[in-house]
Structure 1
Amino acid sequence: MFLHSKKLLAKDIMSKEFLIANENYRVNELIRAMLKENIEEVFIVDKKNKLIGFVRFIDIVKMIGENLNQDIPIKKYIDDAISVDKTTSLLVCKDIMLENRIRKLPVIENGEIIGVIKKDEVLNYLYTNLKKSQAKLNHILDSIHEALCVIDKEGQVVFWNEKSEKLYDVSSKEIVGRHMKDFFPDAMILKVLKSRQAVKNVYHMPKKDYHIIINVEPIWIDGEFSGAVSTDRDISEVKKMSSELQKANETLQYLEEEMKRVMGDQLGEIIGKSEKIRKKIETARQIAATEASILLTGESGTGKEVFARYIHDHSDRKGLFIPINCSAIPNELFESEFFGYEKGAFTGANNMGKIGLFELAEDGTIFLDEIGDLPLSMQAKLLRVLQEKQIKRVGGNKYIPINARVISATNVDLKKLVEEKKFRQDLYYRINVVEINLPPLREREGDIPLLIDSFLKELCKKNKKNILGIEPEVLKILENYHWEGNIRELKNTIENLVVLCRQDTITIDLIPKYIINRVGEKRFMGENSLDLNKSIKKFEVDMIRKALELANGNKVKAAKLLNIPRTTLYYKLESYKIECR
């Protein structure tokens, strides 16, 4: 989950630094051992190394003060030890330690102590994750469309988002920590504070031409009243809700299908059976579980983001996949987008600050597409982050550790950019631990029909079309086309055919003329003759034969492919002595 850290167990945080002693240890021997190791507690085990209790240094000091015999076995003075096994959750460990007022909690496996949970380390971990969750939560609350206000049971404002600032002309800095009645004495949320009853869909006009619907809910935590939360929505937005909701549902359905296609658990999520693409898929699966930085290269439209998502999904990372198009971010915003910023970092900055994309990708993958467009100044900062595994927000003075795998992609020659001093050589080697060069579509023999079939199903559903198939001659033409734009161009072409198709089958006449012309030019391009008449004749003969081949000998369809009348085709067939098979 976005706001939840992965469940941490005792084995994940336990320390190996602890002292054990046999139950027959003499008191004076134990004192010397504890002084030498500077340890306040010793865990006592029996002859079979099973934990039976513990002794604290302070107890030994009391024992010495009472002039008790120090040359007797320590087992006479031990206390029972509370313990947990290695699969106990961190939160349960924390509760046990607080309830029993202990600072160290032994972790047991088969009766033997294998580690110790320390109270200070538990609290530090929980505090760090609480701060991260708070930053993410603030980012979400500031991004929602409604004006949001939260007050405590005393009436003091504890949260006031950006929409509230714009709606009521009061900044978060002014109002948070102050009593609500000092700013809005008649606010609906104050009435709920007294009645402790929810208020729904109340009309409100805070200022001229602003028509607002308010909902207020009391906040109850474990049966105790803790305050109230209000959400205010501009009523003019509600008018658009029905059509927008329908659009959102359709979009969501499409996205769900897209997610299944590119983020599934099956190898088929990357469509292709050609040897070249299968080798790339095998490499991607092999390195997915590693921590290596990956550089995806290849022509535009070859599916680099799909491969990046595939690698992320087949890794052990539990965080988000965050794609970033480096060419789409203005130079002056790179640092704040990548690393976030603290409140007041610059003019126009969010008063609560903002979490950066690297933090959002914690325990996940950050995909830097078109990394060749990254400015040199940002390249140096990115290199430092990759080396030190930590970032510092704009306007901040504290370094934040990050754990995000970086996958980069480019359709340009980075080595050439390095030679031209436009890309840092050290960054190039840092992001290019493993390079996967994706083949262009024209080199993926046998993959075009598979891609066409997949795109046809997807785009028919998207455009609400019921197309059953595609004519064989159409498929032949598409297979013979060069596809300079690769998979992206192929998908756009299929969508063009789907949108224009009025029947249940895609036919030759729907194919764009530039594709037919380019397919027909293939044979002609290799000619060396300078005799114009001969070249024109040969070109016409080759074009007619190619059209007849694609149309399976059907002269009517061949004439359509050639964009000439049937009578003209018949004339040329007779003139050039071309036989139809």
Structure 2
Amino acid sequence: MFSIPELKMVEEVMDEKFTCINKDTNLNIAIQEMIKANVRALVVINNKEKIEGIISMTDIHKISNQNDNYKNVIVADVMSRDIIYASKGIDINQCRNMMIKNKIGILPILDDGKVVGVLNQNHIRDYLYMELEDYGITVKHIVGEIKEGICAINAEGIVILWNKFMEERYGILSSKIVGRPIHEFLRHTISERVLNSKESMSDVYCSCDKEDLYGLVHANPIYIEGEFLGVVCTEVDITEAKKLSIELEKANDTLKYLQDEVKNLSKGSFDKVLGKSYKLEKEKEVAKRVSKTNSSILIFGESGTGKEVFARAIHEYSDKVGQFIPVNCSAIPNELFESEFFGYESGAFTGASKKGKMGIFELAKNGTVFLDEIGDLPMNMQAKLLRVLQEKEVRRIGGEKIIKIKSRVICATNKNLSDLVKEGKFREDLYYRLNVVEINLPPLRERKEDIEILIHNFLKEICEENEKSVIGITKESVNILQSYKWKGNIRELKNTIENLVVLSKRDVIEVEDLPSYITESSYINEDDDGDLDLVKLTQKLENRVISKALELTKGNKAKAAKILNIPRTTLYYKIDQNDIEYSKT
């Protein structure tokens, strides 16, 4: 037992105590010898003990139907002379095949022409049965100890093999499932799919009834001589590998966000929120106090006032261990909101990644989710966001597992949410849930004293990014930029400085380098007297603009004409025509 199957030679199996009968003996004696030896056939020999033939009960039965006095008939007249025999030295399988092919029940074994033994059907059966039993026990133990699942079903879907691995994995004993249809115990198995398709399937992940259990399955149809007989299925436990894969996916998703945001992380400290104006410092102080709590924060501010920079500063100041995940609600298509917010499992919908995807709340676990332009969030997502904020848990699309989160939510908008609530475009309960602490970022026009700080910071930053030496800017140019009403706020100011740096041919930005729409706007005084004469007002405005240009250029008419975007001769004419006074350097 538990050994390599050994193919025996015929002399090891044959019966050496066989019964022979002389060919001249009558059938009565032959019958008595058969009964005495309990055999159905006898070897017939001659006087020299050489084999002459075989006499069987079948031969005797045939003659008895023809001759009532058959018992006195000589054996030689009835025996079969076409002798099929084998010689010593051949294996048992060859003997079995000879007996099957020739349809005989007894096979004489000869050595040098003499009969030395006989092999009958019982010998073959007993030998093969013992060998099969030993081999079956060996295979059973081997299959049972394999650290891999093995299951086999026949063409009707009946389980015929279920090893120990499968018992432990599915909690189903072999004694219960073997001999029963597999669908009575397990639904939608790979084995049944192959049973129906007759085609192999491999590398299929399957989540079993047990939670977080994964296996790599290979199933193949079994054919013998062209006939389909069933399916054999092997399964490898990849639970740990799958868990590592999931963790790796999470790490990759997190790394992607970090790579996208790494340049912005340096702006997270309140020290990097540039400006010293009273309004800005007041909001900084509020943000610092609330950053250490888990309260929701709503940041109001016009476009370009730095709401995301402020939110990053709150996150960094809070010392939260998770990531800062920014999301622009106005940039996400309506049909993708749910998958972006909550993620999805593999195959959750058409076009979904085979690996699934983490949502922003899962990515920001123990961190901060920044929802910019929250006023653009669709109504259906507002209800789902409210539930997330209340329950502190999410579930991926197509998934069953509940994921607990501890992320803080910071929202920002440039819209009046209270007006949207009145118009029925924003949920009132969500508004109050988000607006626990309100921060109002002042527009740039209300913090003019911060503009010079921002200008010099942007000059340094943009010059470094473009690998240029840091350039300066004249006081007159700064004055003009401070007097401009920045509708795009800090974003517009930064874009303007970048334009000046890229196009600058000198080491210092002069007034004439500034865009004309900025210089012209700085000359206009909206607080004029009540005279509504358009001609007079136009003349006053023109004289004021020319005077301002001459003042900025310290009387340099060539530079002033360039700022005003008019020919120098036209400037000379207007100065003389309107008696415009100016100081010369």
Does structure 1 residue 335 correspond to structure 2 residue 335? Answer: no
What residue number does 1:64 align with?
none
Distance (whole Å) between structure 2 residues aligned to residue 579 and residue 466 of structure 1: 39
Aligned to 1:482, what secondary structure does the other structure show? Answer: coil
Is the contact between residue 326 and residue 374 of structure 1 (CA under 8 Å) also seen in structure 2? yes
Aligned-partner residue type, residue 338 of structure 1: F
Q: Does 1:570 align with 2:572?
A: yes
Describe the SS at the equivalent of 1:546.
helix
DSSP 3-state at the match of 1:523 = coil
Kindly indicate whether the alpha-carbon contact (under 8 Å) linking 1:326 and 1:373 is maintained by their aligned counterparts in 2: yes
TM-score in terms of structure 1 length: 0.55
Residues 1:177 and 2:177 are matched in the alignment: no
SS in 2 for 1:177: strand
Structure-1 separation of matches of 2:410 and 2:261: 23
Q: Name the counterpart of 2:365.
A: 362
* Pair 1:259-2:265 in alignment: yes
| CA shift for structure 1 position 273 | 0.8
> Which among 548, 552, 555 is matched to residue 550 of structure 2?
548
**1:265-414 to 2 correspondences below 5 Å:** 267-414=270-417
Shift in Å at residue 507 of structure 1?
2.0
Distance 1:531 1:360, change over 3 A: same
Q: Partners of 2:376 and 2:202 in 1: how far apart?
A: 40
Change in 2 beyond 3 A, CA 1:501/1:256: farther
**One-letter code of the match for 1:326?**
C
Give the 3-state SS of the residue equivalent to 1:299 in structure 2: coil
Deviations 1:303-323 (A, max 9, x none): 000000000000031100000
Residue pair 1:477, 1:550 contacting (<8 A) in 2 also: no
Cα separation, partners in 2 of 1:257 and 1:354, compared to 1, 3 Å: closer
Residue equivalent to 2:60:
none
1:559 maps to which residue? 561
Q: Take 2:445 and 2:464, find their aligned partners in 1: how far apart are those partners?
A: 27
1:474 pairs with 457, 473, 477, which one? 477
Deviation at 1:474, TM superposition (A): 1.5
> Is the CA contact (8 Å cut-off) linking 1:363 and 1:403 kept in structure 2?
yes
How big is each residue's C-alpha offset from its partner over 1:162-221, in whole Å with a ceiling of 9 and x where there is no partner? xxxxxxx99764997157999xxxxxxxxxxxxxxxxxxxxxxxxxxxxxxxxxxxxxxx
Change (3 A) 1:172 1:407: farther
Moved more, 172-181 or 282-291: 172-181
SS at 1:417 equivalent: helix
Question: Which whole-Å deviations, capped at 9, do the CAs of 1:447-470 have from their partners, x for residues lacking one?
Answer: 001000010011111122224201
| SS at 1:368 equivalent | strand
User: Which stretch has the larger CA shift, 284-293 or 340-349?
Assistant: 340-349
Structure 1 position 518 matched with structure 2 position 521: yes
Residue 435 of structure 1: SS of its match in structure 2?
strand
Partner of 2:454: 451
Distance 1:170 1:356, change over 3 A: farther
Map of 1:529 onto structure 2? 531
**Residues 257 and 366 of structure 1: CA distance in aligned 2, closer, same or farther (over 3 Å):** closer
Shift of 1:502: 1.3
TM-score by length of 2: 0.55
C-alpha change, 1:554 and 1:172, in structure 2 (3 Å) is farther
- Could you give the per-residue CA deviations for residues 415-449 of structure 1, whole angstroms, max 9, x where no partner exists? 11111100000000000000101000000031001
Secondary structure of 2:348 counterpart: coil
Where 2:500 maps in the other structure, the secondary structure is helix
Q: Is the 8 A contact 2:464 2:470 kept in 1?
A: no
Hey, what's the Cα distance between the residues in 1 that align with 2:484 and 2:429? 40
Q: Secondary structure at the match of 1:291?
A: coil
Q: What is residue 141 of structure 2 aligned with on the other side?
A: none
The answer on whether the counterparts of 1:523 and 1:542 sit within 8 Å (CA) in structure 2 is no
* 8 Å contact kept, 2:203–2:218: no
How many Å separate the matches in 1 of 2:391 and 2:265? Answer: 33
The within-5 A match list for 1:60-75 is none
Q: What root-mean-square deviation, in Å, do the aligned CA atoms of Structure 1 and Structure 2 show?
A: 2.8
Instruction: Give yes or no for contact 1:292–1:434 (8 Å, CA) kept in 2.
Output: yes
1:336 partner letter: S
Q: Write the letter of the residue equivalent to 1:263.
A: G
Structure 1 portions without partners, runs of 5+: 1-168, 183-228, 230-250
Q: Distance in 2 between matches of 1:546 and 1:443?
A: 23
Deviation for aligned residue 1:525:
6.8
| Equivalent-residue separation in structure 1 for 2:374 and 2:204 (angstroms) | 37
Question: Which amino acid in structure 1 is aligned with residue 216 of structure 2?
Answer: G
Aligned residue in 2 for 1:120: none
Q: Distance in 2 between matches of 1:172 and 1:451?
A: 57
2:448 counterpart SS class: coil
The correspondence of residues 34-49 of structure 1 with structure 2, limited to 5 A, is none
The CA distance in 2 between the partners of 1:375 and 1:384, in whole Å, is 15
Would the aligned equivalents of 1:467 and 1:505 in 2 still touch at CA under 8 Å?
A: no
Q: Tell me the matched-pair count.
A: 342
Cα distance in 2 for partners of 1:326, 1:258 equals 19
CA displacement at 1:482 relative to structure 2: 0.5
**1:488 corresponds to which of 481, 488, 491:** 491
Checking the alignment, whether the CA contact within 8 Å between 1:323 and 1:366 is kept in structure 2 is yes
- Report how far residue 527 of structure 1 moved: 5.1
Q: Judge conservation of contact 1:343–1:351 (CA < 8 Å) in 2.
A: yes
Counterpart-to-counterpart distance in 1, 2:526 and 2:571: 19
Describe the superposition over 1:464-483 as per-residue Cα deviations: whole angstroms up to 9, x where unpaired: 22242012221111111100
**Structure 2: stretches of 5+ with no match in the other structure:** 1-200, 207-213, 222-244, 246-257
Structure 1 counterpart of 2:572, which letter? Answer: Y
The aligned counterpart of 2:71 is none
Instruction: Report SS of the residue matched to 1:446.
Output: helix
Could you list the per-position Cα deviations for residues 536-565 of structure 1 after superposition, in whole angstroms to 9, with x for gaps in the alignment? 211111111221233244333222211123
> Shift of the alpha carbon at 1:531?
2.1
Partners of 1:309 and 1:524 in 2: CA distance: 38
1:84-127 CA-partner distances (Å, limit 9, x unpaired): xxxxxxxxxxxxxxxxxxxxxxxxxxxxxxxxxxxxxxxxxxxx
1:355 shift after superposition? 1.7
